[in-house]
A and B are shown apart, each in its own frame.
Chain A
Amino acid sequence: MSDYEVHELMVCRVAREVDESGVVVMGSFTPLAYAAYMLAKLTHAPDAYLAGFDAVGMAPVQLSFTGVEAAAYKGAACRWGMLTEINSIHLSNNGGVEAVSSAQFDGDAAINLSTIGPFEEPKVRLPGGAGAAEVIKMYRKMVAYFGSHNPRTLVEKVPFVTGTRWKIGDESREAAGLLPGPVVVVTNLAVLIRDEDERPFRIESLHPGVTAETVVEQTGFELEVPDDIPETTAPTDDELRLLREQIDPHGTVAFDFMPGKERMAYLDRILDAEWSAAERAIGR
């Protein structure tokens, strides 16, 4: 088996949640989620219906910071605008899967993308949730991913609820007019899942070398720890090759996992490569 990085393991695990039912809504460019959608579309879910930016029915695309939006339109069957998208995908119960990340996340699958500190006088004003406040409750499956699994991010109760899954168990979801489906959390340590109202998140799998004790210690909310926890399925050689050579040859996904000091130099290298590709494209 090949060596792989933890972000590659996370991409492959998120990709496994992507299926061919409903619309996969991608929103703006979030490299890890985008890589997962593309990998699914190139492997087990060729008929996954993707919507990214205002491009609907997208082909899989190569990731780049400067050109991914342009790529989204090149293979798309339809070009809409945001209002048509929310009316036709989210509010009409056609949302299949979306992978989201947030500053904080809690055991009820509520997210905070608004503020650290008091809402009106924030210590840190976060970007805001865009459509997440409404739509994370509407998807059949909610996938949340975090590059750093720690108790400041995965908290018992978010101090400010930007949005929430609202109803968790299949029956209460259906009674509220929502599509039934689980909440899956994929982190750099483990995979957590919750699908019942009265049962907390449980550890579904542990990444290689990670113990259940570490995961419990690094999680701010209650976790059920099954007796027998499998190891997270490793990426296959085929998946790794697709990721590294086709989907993300410049390494945009790894950028979010770079330590602070190396981030800017790493970004410069990616951008140099993208600039060179553009120069080649115009024959310079």
Chain B
Amino acid sequence: MANKVVELEELGTLVADGDRVALGGGWFANHPMAAVRQLVRDQRRDLEAITIVGSVDIDLLLAADSLRHVTFSMVTLEAFGLAPHFRQKIEAGEVSFTEMTGLGLLIGLEAQGRGVPFLPYRGPFGSDLPGHYPDQYAEVDCPFTGERLTATRAIQPDVAIVHALRADPEGNAQWDGTSAADVEMAKAAERVIITCEEVVDRDTIVANAHMTKVPGYYVDAVIEAPFGAHPCTHVPAYGLDAWRIKDYVAATAEGFDGYLDAIRGETEADYRKRVVGEDRMPVLRGLVDQARVLTPTDG
């Protein structure tokens, strides 16, 4: 069986300066943060990031001057505020951007995955966004009914990086919780990199085959990265490290050089020791255990 397993440190050979990189995850969930940190260590430049709902992933790449362009439908730190470098870099005109509507972006990825140049849908009528991007959105009449629809052009990333719960060496990758647009990104991209909490043998994948969302034939490389979405979540492995998100925001107020220098001066294994912390790991997993479902009898 094909063995596509590589070390995180080899990511630099898979992502080139200038690439259009789709980053998986959505909200605070499941962003491929270990890979993002490695791109920062590798001092990648002039990347175009594509995110559906980005978070510290996009913000960190902007802080590290790794992006020339960001394509997004939302970038936010939610309760922890507006994404600081996303704001700064766009407001200062230092990075260009394409703000897409969420469905336009998803369906654009879907179009590429299906091999068609665009797909029609009942679009964001009345929104000012499509008018800013005539290369991405157009109006089109249904050839059968004449209904006026929105066309969203196919979006092709050079590479998609998505973080899964587990994958086997062939690249068959499984998710249990939030998968956001990971599958559509993988199907649209020319190259696919799976980072995962754990590389497992094929038997483990087969035993849970209903959880496989990206089959191995799409995949070019598999990278084991425990706590690879940290400080974001990877349910059911761990909850949100809100304390480290707060540290991230606080570091911004102090100029952020220290934060970047620390990441660049260490390996991902060092990061796990320094920032995640071995004594904290069980508690971050405990955030998932303590999460409660309510029943009407609780009333």
User: B127 touching A62 by the CB < 8 A rule?
Assistant: no
Known: A130-B53, A163-B127. A69 touches B233 (CB 8 A): yes
- The answer to whether the Cβ of A114 comes within 8 Å of any Cβ in the partner chain is yes
Find chain B residues with CB under 8 A from A267 CB: 79, 246
Which residue of the partner chain B has the closest CB to A132?
Answer: B102
- The answer to whether the Cβ of B286 comes within 8 Å of any Cβ in the partner chain is yes
Interface of B is mostly: mixed
User: A134 touching B178 by the CB < 8 A rule?
Assistant: no
Known: A86-B106, A161-B126. A67 touches B74 (CB 8 A): no
CA distance A256 to B81 in the complex (A): 11
Find chain B residues with CB under 8 A from A125 CB: 82, 86-87, 90-91
Indicate with 1 or 0, residue by residue over B105-126, a CB within 8 angstroms of chain A CB atoms: 0110110000000000111111
Instruction: In the complex, identify which listed stretch (A4-12, A71-79, A192-200, A202-210) lies at the interface while the others stay far away.
Output: A71-79
User: B52 touching A82 by the CB < 8 A rule?
Assistant: yes
- The answer to whether the Cβ of A128 comes within 8 Å of any Cβ in the partner chain is yes
Q: Residue A271 contacts which of B213, B243, B289, B298 (CB distance < 8 angstroms)?
A: B243
Minimum Cβ distance to chain A for residue B274 (Å): 19
Find chain B residues with CB under 8 A from A90 CB: 103
- The answer to whether the Cβ of B146 comes within 8 Å of any Cβ in the partner chain is no
- The answer to whether the Cβ of B168 comes within 8 Å of any Cβ in the partner chain is no
Instruction: In the complex, identify which listed stretch (B7-15, B181-189, B215-223, B264-272) lies at the interface while the others stay far away.
Output: B181-189
CA distance A61 to B292 in the complex (A): 6
- The answer to whether the Cβ of B255 comes within 8 Å of any Cβ in the partner chain is no
Find chain B residues with CB under 8 A from A255 CB: 79
- The answer to whether the Cβ of A60 comes within 8 Å of any Cβ in the partner chain is yes
B153-212 CB contacts (< 8 Å) to partner A: 176-184
User: A242 touching B87 by the CB < 8 A rule?
Assistant: no
Known: A54-B177, A54-B178, A125-B87. A71 touches B291 (CB 8 A): yes
Total contacting residues, chain A, CB less than 8 A: 79
- The answer to whether the Cβ of B75 comes within 8 Å of any Cβ in the partner chain is yes
User: B74 touching A129 by the CB < 8 A rule?
Assistant: yes
Find chain A residues with CB under 8 A from B93 CB: 121
Known: A54-B180, A64-B291, A66-B242. A177 touches B122 (CB 8 A): yes
User: B282 touching A129 by the CB < 8 A rule?
Assistant: no
Find chain B residues with CB under 8 A from A126 CB: 82
CA distance A31 to B285 in the complex (A): 22
Q: Residue B177 contacts which of A66, A69, A177 (CB distance < 8 angstroms)?
A: A69
- The answer to whether the Cβ of B23 comes within 8 Å of any Cβ in the partner chain is no
B230-271 CB contacts (< 8 Å) to partner A: 233, 235-236, 239-243, 246
Minimum Cβ distance to chain A for residue B109 (Å): 8
User: B78 touching A164 by the CB < 8 A rule?
Assistant: no
Find chain A residues with CB under 8 A from B295 CB: 59-60
Give the most central of A29, A271, A274: most B CB within 10 Å.
A274
Which residue of the partner chain B has the closest CB to A29?
Answer: B78
User: B110 touching A74 by the CB < 8 A rule?
Assistant: no
CA distance A247 to B296 in the complex (A): 11
Can you list the 3 inter-chain pairs with the closest CB atoms, starting with the nearest? A131-B102, A278-B286, A71-B291
Binding site for A on B (CB under 8 A): 26-29, 52-53, 72-76, 78-79, 82-83, 86-87, 90-91, 93, 99, 101-104, 106-107, 109-110, 121-129, 132, 176-184, 213, 233, 235-236, 239-243, 246, 282-296, 298-299
